[in-house]
Homo-oligomer: A and B are copies of this chain.
Amino acid sequence: MAELVGNVLVGQSGGPTAVINASVAGVVAEALNHSCIEEVYGSLNGVLGILNEDFIDLAAESQQTIRGLRVTPGAALGTCRHKLKKAQDFERVIAVFKAHNIRYFFYIGGNDSQDTADKIAQTARQQEYELRVIGIPKTIDNDLALTDHCPGYGSVAKFICTTIRELACDHEAMGQHDLVSIVEVMGRNAGWIAASASLAKRRDHPHDPPHLIYLPEVAFSAEKFVADVQRILKREKYCLIVVGEGLIDADGNYVSAAEATDAFGNAQLGGAADYLRTLAEQNLPGTKVRTVKLGITQRAAAHAGSKTDADEAFLAGQAAVKAAVNGETDKMITLMRGDGDNYTCETGLAPLADVANAVKKLPPEWVNEDGVSMNHQFLRYAQPLIQGETVVLHDSGLPIYAKLDKARVDKQLPAYEV
């Protein structure tokens, strides 16, 4: 295989996570090791930055900043939910890549983004432009196919479980009346996030909160919900419920009204907790219902991040560069768990086409028969992902997060109408 000399471009796409910047740090750190890589550019706001030729020079950032990215939430390069549709868009991408001699393209994102990366790779091949495209997995939803788990998931799980443990301390103190406490978490199509709340239970304390977990994978029944809550309140002073935003009923309809759709046609959800609150208040007189809507705070909570997660996100960035330099293209980095009793994780590769637009559902056999709790198989799967605490530097009492200087790369082409 002939060495491919040229520049790197890395972009971020879709919803930010606590560790998507750690993958950028991994790409930058690894790129410096390879003499075939000349420049390391970042695309601002994902593919939009490519169309608009909005590139920054990541090699010009300080080592301190790149290190800071390993624990900085958000997406330091900016992200987008823009979908490349027209053939013209893909031709523009290749034209921009040619103008900047981009030979290595790394796209960090979920399944929609891996689909975009796949199409860019195909277009390059059609145009006989030598380009290596490697996707880097990222999603708090943990729903990408062919990877054991996704960077971003462990940190959101750890934060939610931390919050559940703290809510438990608070609720246990207020033992004077029947309290129903509902925490709404993210998870549009899959219940991985809601399920992760089960890690908050201490080992051998099955009655610890969360007492009830409602997943998109289990058809929601209002009657069963009311009976579930009654059952818990007979046993416990309070009932702590975790609900995924994408809860659906037996007919497959979202129980909370869909309000809008994004550019990919995904329903923008919200209100599952309010829906359950109303159900409880109407059917369980005398109970007091409180809700928490973590919203975007859960995916940005780097201050309570999983070190395992941040380290694996960094590793995925490094692995993407190594794979591309070794001649791989049109693949996504996967995380592969070792077979031993002690958790180990190595990276692998999967074809982008196989990842694109697929969704990995929570295995139904990992949900207990009661439909509202997770069994030991899930716990064994998820427990290792929340291990270790990231260390965030503080100044004047608050976390300091890295900000890029964003030295702009000169544009080479006429403007393009997005």
Contact = CB atoms under 8 A, between A and B. Distances in A.
Contact of A386 (B15, B386, B397): B397
Contact of A45 (B165, B168, B176, B181): B176
Interface stretch (A92-100, A220-228, A292-300): A292-300
A399 B12 CA distance: 31
Given A45-B175, A163-B297, A397-B387, A170 B304 contact: no
4 closest cross-chain pairs (CB), A and B:
A74-B169, A75-B173, A292-B295, A166-B300
Given A165-B399, A397-B388, A74 B300 contact: no
Interface in A41-73: 45, 48, 72-73
Contacts of A163: 297, 300-301
A177 to B, nearest CB: 9
A116 interface: no
A55 to B, nearest CB: 16
B302 A166 contact: yes
A302 B168 CA distance: 12
Contacts of A75: 170, 173-174
A158 interface: yes
A181 B296 contact: yes
B303 A292 contact: no
Interface of A is mostly: mixed
Nearest to A179: B296
Interface of A: 12, 15-16, 45, 48, 72-82, 158, 161-163, 165-176, 181, 199-200, 203, 260, 270, 288, 290-297, 299-304, 306, 383, 386-389, 394, 396-399, 401
A173 B396 contact: no
Given A74-B169, A74-B172, A396 B387 contact: yes
A174 B82 CA distance: 11
A250 B383 CA distance: 52
B291 A295 contact: yes
6 contacts: A162-B398, A165-B399, A203-B396, A270-B291, A386-B397, A386-B398
Contacts of A78: 172-175
B173 A79 contact: yes
B292 A293 contact: yes
Nearest to A72: B169
A20 to B, nearest CB: 9
Contact of A48 (B158, B176, B398): B176
A387 B270 CA distance: 35
Given A158-B397, A165-B399, A397-B386, A170 B73 contact: yes
A398 B302 contact: no
A132 to B, nearest CB: 26
Given A398-B158, A398-B386, A81 B302 contact: no
A184 to B, nearest CB: 9
A12 B170 CA distance: 12
Contacts of A260: 288
A293 B296 CA distance: 10
| Most chain B beta-carbon contacts within 10 A, residue among A294, A386, A396, A397 | A397
